[in-house]
Amino acid sequence: MHYTKEIIKLTNIMAIGVFIISAMILLKFKPVYEVSFKQEAIGYIENKTQFEDLVNELLQEDDEQNIAFVNIPDIPTYELKFVKKQEQINQENVLLAIKNASEVTYYRYAINVDDKTLQYVNTEEQAKQVEQSIKEEYKDVKVDVIKTYTKNSLDVTGIELASISDVVIKKIEDEKKEEEKVKASTLNGVHLAVNPIQGHITSRFGSRESIRDHAHKGLDIAAKTGTKIKAVASGTVTYASTMSGYGNLIRINHGNGVETYYGHCNKINVKKGQKVKAGDIIGEVGSTGRSTGPHLHLEVRLHDKILNPLKYLYK
């Protein structure tokens, strides 16, 4: 019993001592949280819970226009410390440091006309209005509204990138050019869509030269031996063998009386009766038959009448 009283007395004395020391510490020091961000101490705060609430509000703030979300690239860490009472608590500066390091993503709406971005606007309502007005005025264009994202707040301006009339005019002009191109390369309903090879034209249709006793019946295009030859249009191979003068010859029937000849081939890659499509590889450039060097002799015929290939190809 005697020892118990002594222990209680000693415990009370120690508690009083701890209280006195704590009181003395609190007279000169105060408890704070040191905040570290990206492994660097950036300041002190008093209330950790309150500060975390402020950080969460920062992530959800919408003071700026069209903020999609705010991302903080690191998580703040907190360490309890005692600092002198006169030490400044700079919670606003700590929050500002985190805010300045945050990554803001903005949203906007792109209005695309025929896959070309015509304009950016800030709200879906504005986008729908522009979309509707375009569709009412221009019936033959495709209009899409797409929500897009950007890191640059200056991008969220609603700036018009191109006028709708410019887009539509260009579309009409492009379509007209394509129609004219197809029309110019179409013979009796057959579109001669592909140039058979790329090379240098050495002898044109109708030319008279010392190497022959008649006007040239085709078009000669010089190229390296082995250059791949393509079918100018879809059709059926009607000849794939050697023919006097032509050397190795490929002949394709494209229908509607249209035929093409490919002479002096080094190699033939197709067989008689084979179906081919425009652009298919049918052979290789060579110098077989009556030839002075590697080239392709190309003929275009309609009902066996020989025509100038340059009227339809190499535009």
φ/ψ bin of 189: left (φ > 0), alpha (ψ from -120 to 50), beta (otherwise): left
Query: Could you tell me the residue range of the domain that residue 96 belongs to?
Result: 27-101
Residues 237, 285 within the same domain: yes
pLDDT, position 204: 80
Sign of CA dihedral 177, 179, 183, 185: positive
Q: Identify whether residues 302 and 207 lie together within a single domain.
A: yes
- Three-class SS state of 281: strand
Domain finish residue from 78, 101, 124? 101
Q: What percent of the chain has pLDDT over 90?
A: 35
pLDDT tens across the length of the chain (315 residues): 455 656 555 565 565 555 555 555 556 767 888 888 888 888 888 888 888 888 877 766 655 678 887 788 788 888 888 877 777 778 888 888 888 888 888 888 888 887 777 778 888 888 888 888 777 777 777 888 889 888 876 666 554 545 555 666 666 677 788 888 999 999 999 999 999 999 998 888 757 655 555 667 889 999 999 999 999 999 999 999 999 889 999 999 999 999 999 999 999 999 999 999 999 999 999 999 988 899 999 999 999 999 999 999 987
Domain annotation covers residue 266: yes
Residue 182 falls inside a structural domain:
no
Please state, rounded to an integer, the average pLDDT across all residues of the chain: 82
86 and 154 share a domain? no
Q: Mark whether 82 and 112 lie in a shared domain.
A: no
Predicted model pTM: 0.51
Cβ atoms of 114 and 171 within 8 Å: the answer is yes
What's the number of domains the chain is made of? 3
Question: Are 67 and 84 members of one domain?
Answer: yes
Domain boundary, last residue among 101, 134, 157: 101
CA distance 50 to 188: 83
CATH code of the domain covering residue 203:
2.70.70.10
pLDDT in tens, 140-198: 778 888 898 888 766 665 545 455 556 666 666 777 888 889 999 999 999 999 999 99
pLDDT value, residue 5: 57
Residue 237 within any structural domain of the chain: yes
198/277 same-domain check: yes
Sole residue written with tokens 């703040």: 76
180 is a domain residue: no
Torsion of CA 244, 297, 260, 230, to 10 degrees: 120
- In 3D space, the residue among 35, 47, 45 whose CA is nearest the CA of residue 88 turns out to be 45
CA distance 231 to 222: 17
The pLDDT, as a whole number, for residue 161 is 46
Final residue before a domain boundary, out of 45, 71, 101 = 101
Find the farthest-apart pair of alpha carbons in the chain and give their distance in angstroms, rounded. Answer: 142
